[in-house]
Chains A and B, each alone.
Chain A
């Protein structure tokens, strides 16, 4: 296989990792929503925790995107 072709296949495979981050972000927002509907009064105070968890989870997806971008444009 040519190195160029392997690079593109590798970039495609690397983006699969973003699916895991998608699942994680979905769980975070879903659980926040179900908690917020059970106790709307406490929802506003947990908003910054929500964003914090979202940011930490999303970073892992961004890492795999970065691997794909490195393969496509740098290496």
Chain B
């Protein structure tokens, strides 16, 4: 039963080990560097993205070929998103935002393939991405605005008595941003994949019940197909949501007063 329950698809296991580093003379307290299935799919996603973008834009045709057009549409899509939500100054973060979007999109789409591993369904991965975004926002905001970055917590045009209520709320909302940013991606990918496997499990259970069960299994099978379609939508949507929130937060770092 261990391999058919809906949660075991998220197991991380070692593919090969690079050996242990930092161990003391007794061979204890070391950290083992291992290459896991999670790392494999991250490497696959990065290799695929980089390979596709490099190969497709190699021709630099004035009239783009079909493969080049995909790269150009992707570029225009992200560039418009950054420009509309973070302004022209936000375009200096374009490579970062583009990397975030393609990484999440391609890892999510790879995860949709049966037996493949969904990288974004690991909390540690999404927390690392969210902390990276928030670190860049805070560091750039303080570097550019100095103490003016604190204007982020003081909305303009609010009467002073109300500020005593609004400022703590703004601080709390800022502190919960990395939490919600990481949990949203993690929760959506985890929940979606679990639901698909639960309905797929119903098919297996019903077909074990004889001829009547096999006819009844058509319902959960159709549901599995529909949910797979929905999960493709969610994969793309969550990559988009993560990216647009990154742009909004970067806009806060560039223009703190709102």
Which A residues are closer than 8 A to B by beta carbons? 48, 51-52, 54-56, 58-59, 62-63, 65-66, 69, 73
Lowest 6 CB-CB distances: which A-B pairs, in order? A62-B187, A59-B180, A55-B241, A59-B184, A62-B183, A62-B184
Instruction: Determine whether B85 belongs to the interface, using a CB cutoff of 8 Å to chain A.
Output: yes
Complex Cα–Cα for A52 and B237 (A): 11
Given contacts A55-B241, A62-B183, A69-B190, 12 further A-B contacts (CB under 8 A): A48-B244, A51-B237, A52-B244, A52-B248, A55-B184, A55-B244, A58-B184, A58-B188, A62-B184, A63-B180, A65-B191, A66-B187
Which B residues are closer than 8 A to A by beta carbons? 7, 81, 84-85, 180, 183-184, 187-188, 190-191, 237, 240-241, 244-245, 248
| Interface core residue of A48, A51, A66 (most chain B CB under 10 Å) | A48
Looking across the interface, which residue of chain A has its beta carbon closest to that of B183? A62
CB distance from B251 to the nearest CB of A (A): 12
Given A48-B84, A51-B237: A59 touches B183 (CB 8 Å cut-off)? yes
Complex Cα–Cα for A47 and B7 (A): 34
| Interface core residue of B7, B237, B241 (most chain A CB under 10 Å) | B241
Assess whether B180 is in contact with A56, with CB atoms less than 8 Å apart.
yes
Residue among B81, B183, B240, B248 making CB contact with A63, cutoff 8 Å: B183
CB distance from A50 to the nearest CB of B (A): 11
A-B contacts, 25 listed (Cβ < 8 Å): A48-B81, A48-B84, A48-B244, A51-B237, A51-B240, A51-B241, A51-B244, A52-B245, A52-B248, A55-B184, A55-B241, A55-B244, A55-B245, A58-B188, A59-B184, A62-B183, A62-B187, A62-B188, A63-B180, A63-B187, A65-B187, A65-B191, A66-B183, A66-B187, A69-B190
Complex Cα–Cα for A12 and B241 (A): 28
Looking across the interface, which residue of chain B has its beta carbon closest to that of A55? B241
User: Which residues from B are CB-within-8-Å of A66?
Assistant: 183, 187
User: Which residues from B are CB-within-8-Å of A62?
Assistant: 183-184, 187-188, 191
User: Which residues from B are CB-within-8-Å of A73?
Assistant: 7
